[in-house]
Amino acid sequence: MKTVSISTAREGHSYPPVQYQVGREAIREFATAVQADHPAHHSVDAAVQLGHRDLIAPPTFAVVIAQRAEAAAVTDPEAGIDFSRVVHAEERFSHHAPITAGETLTAATTLERIRVMGTGAMVTTVTEITTYDDAPRATVTSTLLVRGEEEGEA
């Protein structure tokens, strides 16, 4: 049996933040892709009538921002995650305020937990999304299952 290449040494490690500019067209395209036709994602007037400053993002749009920050953890050679064996296991979005068009956001990922299971592992990342002046927007928790290699497999 092959030994586990994944390492728990990076547990708790935080990666450099990335910036993301929230655009109206990005919100509209994402909303169309997830078949979210609520007017607050498409019409500025409709969003404003609900008390928002501009178009608001659908609840799972935060993944677009989070994945850019998570990439640093997933590709970290010291964590040793084999991305070709990764399956998305769990996802959670905690929204502190709606992500709104026109905002410049910062996303920073921490490798929260690496649980080795046999030859595989469960890896949990937590990404905090805030505005440039530190107003919280969303906490995105993502759990990836890194499938172990079977005996006899190359």
Report CA Rg, the chain.
18
How many Å apart are CA 137 and CA 104, to the nearest integer?
11
Nearer CB in complex with other proteins: 13/42? 42
Amino acid letter, residue 115: R
User: What is the smallest separation between the CB atom of 110 and other proteins, expressed in angstroms?
Assistant: 18
User: What is the smallest separation between the CB atom of 10 and other proteins, expressed in angstroms?
Assistant: 23
How many Å apart are CA 54 and CA 58, to the nearest integer?
13
Residues of this chain that interact with other proteins (CB under 8 A) are: 26, 29-30, 32-38, 40-41, 50, 52, 56, 58-60, 63-64, 67-68, 84, 87-95, 98, 141
How far is CA 141 from each of CA 1, 41, 45, 113, rounded to the nearest angstrom? 32, 23, 32, 11
Instruction: Look at residues 28, 22, 63 and name the one whose alpha carbon lies nearest to residue 42.
Output: 28
Nearer CB in complex with other proteins: 7/145? 145
With the C-alpha atoms ordered 33, 38, 39, 41, is the resulting torsion angle positive or negative? negative
User: What is the smallest separation between the CB atom of 84 and other proteins, expressed in angstroms?
Assistant: 7
User: What is the smallest separation between the CB atom of 15 and other proteins, expressed in angstroms?
Assistant: 18
